[in-house]
A and B are shown apart, each in its own frame.
Chain A
Amino acid sequence: MTFLRRARAFLEVYYAYMLVYRSELLLWALAMSLPFISMGAWIKAADTGAFPLAPVEFGRYFLVVYLVRQLTVVWVVWEFEYDIVQGRLSPRLLQPADPVWHYVGGHVAERAARLPFTVVIVAFFFMLYPEAWFVPSWTETVACLALSLLAWVLRFVLQYAFAMAAFWTEKASSIEGLWQIGFLFLSGVVAPLAVFPEAVREVVLYTPFPYLIDVPVRALLGAPITLRDVLIPGAWLLVALVAQRLAWRAGLARYSSMGA
């Protein structure tokens, strides 16, 4: 029961915080326009060239990329870095809950606050491009949501593991910056994995990237899910979790910011 009460307290507080910044959230929802830019280029390319997807399939693919990205945004490394530099971590260490729950609370609450903007943008998309209209089945929807949840947890834990570097250096977010380049090009945001050359695709499928975007997206579009789609991200999640816990302990031991 204490757990539920705590979870409710965290969510209520952070949902209220998020509502203060509604206009900012609108801008964030607009800022992720990259999938729509890629969409235009790929629809045009598929019109004239021989690619594995038809123009309308590219349209749907990138729309769902946008959705999955909205569901799985993570920014914990910047928040954590800021909290370390400003010494805001100290009072949280005194609370009877692991500080990570503050960040989890913020991320979950933001999802709820962002949802209305996402719905508007999707409606707008189908108004402009009615040929792309499709209704996924229940199983496809559940599979996509489940894989998106896995993707989100994986991204969060990985980024939180990177954030631990803030105990040693002031620029933990630089590691995330490097990671984001891999994410941008190999996860399926700029091009679906279906158009990658076979050999490259096989290698990339062992990295965590495609499981963050491409795999959940294809699940909604009706692609079958294999055991591998769960096992590889699961393995990466385990690695990230162990690394994060170890770094957290070592980091706390040398943490010496204001008030600690």
Chain B
Amino acid sequence: MRDLLRILSRFWRASLAAELEYRVNFVFSTLNAALGLVLGLFALSLFFQNGHAFDGWSFDASLVVYGLFTTFSGISSVLFVPNLSRVVEHVDKGTMDFVLLKPVDSQLFVSTRNFSPWGLPDIALGLGVIGYAARRLDVDPGHVPAALLAALLSLIILYSLWFALASTSIWFVKVYNATEVLRGLLDAGRLPIAAYPAGYRVFFTYVVPVAFLTSVPADVLRGADATSWLAIEVVVAVLAFGLSRAFWRLSLRSYTSASS
């Protein structure tokens, strides 16, 4: 555990130093996050005209979903996306050899090596929205620990999806575009799952588990009866993580280096 923390702090300090060369990015990422939030909330409010609401979801409850979505996209751009593009680069340029030779678990190395601070404004704004909505909903503080657990499980699922995609680059090399496919599908998480027709709900629960990412934690937080969904989420998260690890091992077997 101590080693793990030491490794992470070395990794992130090094990437932070590299990223801070582009300080203008901070202005852009803050503007991006703020503008995205304002316009995104506007788009969400369009569904609540003329007394319409999603099945069982008020505007405030949907705000929790939107806040979770914003937070998770922030975390993706801080950790998942920068590391994923690095995996693609390693495979493309043949530097994956050096990674595999290091005395650190290769999955740990490639999924934590990079850290990009430019998603932090999104995380801050997302948490702000969740907090605001929780106060308006008068959330029982007793639900918070379970909601945190659900959010943590969501992060594990999200990580596994990104990482499984990164693993495919061993076979297909350039998977930048596949990341766009995944990003496009994850966009469905902006709205509670109840906003979609039945066919969509099945797809976004069992094929691409978007429903677990934002709707389930939001349900747990507002105290809607979600215990069974939470239990299923535990299974999905464990399964997703295990599969991503197995998938990485499998793909590494096909890795044929570029230098040896």
Residues B181 and A182 in contact, CB atoms below 8 Å apart: no
Interface size on B, residues (CB 8 A): 35
Interface residue tally of chain A, by bracket? 35 or more
Residues A24 and B174 in contact, CB atoms below 8 Å apart: yes
- Known contacts A28-B177, A37-B185, A40-B199; 4 additional CB pairs below 8 A are A31-B177, A31-B183, A34-B187, A45-B195
The CA of A34 and the CA of B190, in the complex, are separated in Å by 11
B25 at the interface (CB under 8 A from A): yes
Residues A31 and B184 in contact, CB atoms below 8 Å apart: yes
Per-position 1/0 for B108-151, Cβ under 8 A of A: 00000000000000000000000000000000000000000000
Contacting A at CB under 8 A, from B19-71, are 22, 24-25, 28, 31-32, 35-36, 39-40, 42-43, 46-47, 49-52, 54
Contacting B at CB under 8 A, from A163-195, are 169-171, 174-175, 177-178, 181-182, 184-186, 190-191, 195
Q: Answer whether A171 and B52 are a contact pair too, CB < 8 Å, given A31-B177, A41-B195, A191-B46.
A: no
The CA of A196 and the CA of B49, in the complex, are separated in Å by 10
Residues A177 and B32 in contact, CB atoms below 8 Å apart: yes
The CA of A186 and the CA of B184, in the complex, are separated in Å by 18
**CB-CB < 8 A to B24: which residues of A?**
169, 171, 174
Interface residues of B (CB under 8 A from A): 22, 24-25, 28, 31-32, 35-36, 39-40, 42-43, 46-47, 49-52, 54, 174, 177-178, 180-181, 183-185, 187-188, 191, 195-197, 199-200
The CA of A41 and the CA of B181, in the complex, are separated in Å by 19
Nearest CB on B from A116, distance (A): 17
Interface residues of A (CB under 8 A from B): 24, 27-28, 30-34, 37, 40-41, 43-45, 48-51, 169-171, 174-175, 177-178, 181-182, 184-186, 190-191, 195-197, 200
> Among B25, B43, B178, B183, which residue has its beta carbon within 8 angstroms of that of A191?
B43
**CB-CB < 8 A to A32: which residues of B?**
184
The CA of A195 and the CA of B50, in the complex, are separated in Å by 11
Residues A40 and B177 in contact, CB atoms below 8 Å apart: no
**CB-CB < 8 A to B35: which residues of A?**
178, 181-182
> Among B28, B40, B180, B188, which residue has its beta carbon within 8 angstroms of that of A178?
B28
Chain A residue nearest to B179 in the complex (CB):
A31
Residues A41 and B174 in contact, CB atoms below 8 Å apart: no
**CB-CB < 8 A to B25: which residues of A?**
171, 174
